[in-house]
Chain A
Amino acid sequence: MLKTITRHGLEVVAVLLLGGFLSATLVRLAPGFATDEGLLDPHLNTASLQALRQARTAQSNIFRFYFHALSRALHGDLGTSISLGQPVTTLLRERLPLTLRLVGIGLLLSWSLAMALALSAAWLRTSAYDALTTAMSGLFLCLPAAVLALLSVLWNAPAALVVGLIVFPQVFRYARNLLTKAYSQLHVVSARAKGLSEWRILFWHVVPVVAPQLLAVGGISVSIAVGSAIPVEALCGLAGVGQLAWQAALARDLPLLTNITILVTLVTLLANSGADIIGQLLRGQEA
């Protein structure tokens, strides 16, 4: 067991380091890295423009940047944001709680709605209801995130609801397909014919079959929710990590972006490994 945990831990660290390096490389290689809006200010003279460019190109060697960042990170210093001029640690600490709450509540909402609709669709198995739920999830899938966010501002709805509605159709579609498939299996059909109660069938015959896949969906739904936090926070004017990520992307803020990527990678990894471990436990019980 200890060996498994150590191996998992090492894997996580390796993926995090790789993620940090790759994201730093992506940002560095993208055009516009060594630019600053200040370069267009006609009031600045040549010396000032030179200084502005120098500040930007100081980090242009990606290996050196990564090496410095890593050695500083070991001492608990995540560097300073170029665009906001504040320590990355402070920025993240200030903004993380809001995003965690937003994503957490959003996930809860999306899963409740998706499972309720998917289960009822699998139980009822009528075409009309199926079409209705499909159209409903289709609606939220087709609405641009910006429109949803605007509507939430218009109707004073909490932003977590927007995250929930963005994630909902994706979870719903997987869940519905998996559940429909499970309910069409022979032994479930015969159990139904025998007149077993729906709840009994669900927990004895359906859940064990779909659990691993649903857990995997759970893992990715976290990624989707975290991704949706960017437009939602930016549009609703919420000071969370998503808004920060957007500002950092526009300003090509290398230290900030790299750290946010590592943070997102960490959350993704934790969610997915968590889902895997629970899945393994469930399968272990089944065997």
Chain B
Amino acid sequence: MSPMANLFRKLAYGLLAVILVASLAANWLAPGGYAKQYREAAGAPPSHAHWLGTDDIGRDRFARILFGTRISLLLAPAAALLSVFLAALVGGLAGYLGGMWLRAAMALINLFLSLPWLFLLITVRALLPLNVPPLVSVMVTFLMLGMLGWTSAARVLCNTAASLRESDFVRQAQASGIRGARLFWIHVLPNLKPVLLAQFWISIPAFILSEANLGILGLGVAEPMPSWGSLLKELEGLVSVGEEPWKFVPLVLLIAVVTSFQFLLSQQEEVAP
């Protein structure tokens, strides 16, 4: 590995570690809490008391970012893993079994890609009680996202797995007596890795943003609890871009995290034999 790559890797680990520790130490770093409304200082710019200013009803933005990190950075990767798992299951298996199974899976995926899932989410909200704790609501939301977000990866996997079936080395392996789950595990799955990693990486920010958008249906994190998605939504009202640069902090943080993730994952891929 080049020294440069090594440096990046260390940086990425370092950044993720700092963010993780900071979010776990949120109670101590931001003793005011995420919900306290400093009504005399609503919409204030950064100051000694509020490092990143306050939001529209006077809540400390720094505290909200720290607490929001806990929610988003724990749940989004978990949901992304779920979607990767589902994609591998449906796409990998269908591609591996081939024939009728593959065609059925493709049809299912195409159908899945075009349905208005919004209405399923609205229905899910109706099934939840109104007084649901914010944490439960946000967990349900990420669960739904994970369960609905697997299709694009599965679509690519179907094709990858189908072409792998016809490839020389799988035929050779079959000839040498490797079959079934073992064949799938040793020879097929590793080749699906680039697609699965891509899916994982894309899903994290996509889910973080979708969670905030699902707020319009009454799903997702509920007031006063913060999430990165709800913090990023602040940018939407920022017509005069650049006047309040501190509002970009959540965005910068998210990009840094997503880039670090990608860097560690792709490094790992290259290190692996």
Given contacts A139-B255, A216-B159, contact A177 B114 (CB under 8 A): no
Q: Are B107 and A213 in contact (CB under 8 A)?
A: no
B165-204 interface code vs A (CB 8 A; 1 in, 0 out): 0100000000000000000000000000111011001100
B209 at the interface (CB under 8 A from A): yes
A268 touches B114 (CB 8 A): yes
- The reply to whether A257 and B116 contact each other, CB–CB distance below 8 Å, is yes
A207 interface residue (CB < 8 Å to B): no
- Identify the stretch in A57-65, A80-88, A166-174 within 8 Å (CB) of chain B at 4 or more residues: A166-174
State whether the Cβ of A32 lies closer than 8 Å to any Cβ in chain B. Answer: yes
| Chain B residues, Cβ within 8 Å of A29 | 119, 123
B115 touches A19 (CB 8 A): yes
Contact partners of A27 in chain B: CB under 8 A: 116, 119
State A222–B251 Cα separation when bound (angstroms): 27
Q: For chain A, residues 65 to 114, give those with C-beta under 8 angstroms from any C-beta of chain B.
A: none
Q: Which residue of B lies closest to A33 (CB)?
A: B119
Q: Kindly identify, within residues 215 to 272 of chain B, every residue whose CB is under 8 Å from any CB belonging to chain A.
A: 232-233, 235-236, 238-239, 241, 251, 254-255, 258-259, 262-263, 266, 269-270
Binding site for B on A (CB under 8 A): 11, 14-15, 18-19, 22-23, 26-27, 29-32, 126-128, 130-131, 134-135, 138-139, 141-147, 150-151, 154, 169-170, 173-174, 176-178, 180-181, 184, 212-213, 215-217, 219-220, 223-224, 249, 257, 261, 264-265, 267-269, 272, 276, 279, 283
Question: Secondary structure at chain B's binding surface: helix, strand, loop or mixed?
Answer: helix
In this complex, the member of B110, B162, B235 whose beta carbon has the largest number of chain A beta carbons within 10 angstroms is B110
Give the CA-CA distance A173 to B125 in the complex, in Å.
33
C-alpha gap A213/B195 in the complex (Å): 9
**Cα distance A217–B160 in the bound complex, in angstroms:** 11
Please name 25 pairs of A and B residues whose Cβ atoms are closer than 8 Å in the assembled complex, sorted by A: A15-B107, A19-B111, A19-B114, A26-B116, A134-B266, A142-B254, A142-B255, A142-B258, A144-B236, A146-B236, A147-B236, A151-B241, A154-B241, A174-B195, A177-B198, A177-B269, A180-B266, A180-B270, A213-B195, A215-B159, A216-B158, A249-B119, A261-B114, A268-B114, A272-B155
- Per the bound structure, the CA–CA distance linking A203 and B202 in Å amounts to 28
Report the bound CA distance from A174 to B126 in whole Å.
36
Residues of B within 8 A of A180 (CB): 194, 266, 269-270
* Chain B interface residues toward A at CB < 8 A: 2, 4-5, 8, 103, 106-107, 110-111, 113-120, 122-123, 125-126, 151-152, 155-156, 158-160, 162-163, 166, 193-195, 197-198, 201-202, 205-206, 208-209, 212-213, 232-233, 235-236, 238-239, 241, 251, 254-255, 258-259, 262-263, 266, 269-270
Cα distance A23–B119 in the bound complex, in angstroms: 9
In the bound complex, residues from chain A placing their C-beta under 8 Å from that of B4 are 126-128
- Given A144-B233, A216-B155, verify A22-B195 contact (CB < 8 Å): no
Question: Can you name the residue of chain A whose Cβ is closest to the Cβ of B124?
Answer: A30
| Contact assessment for B159 and A131 in the assembled complex, using a CB-CB cutoff below 8 Å | no
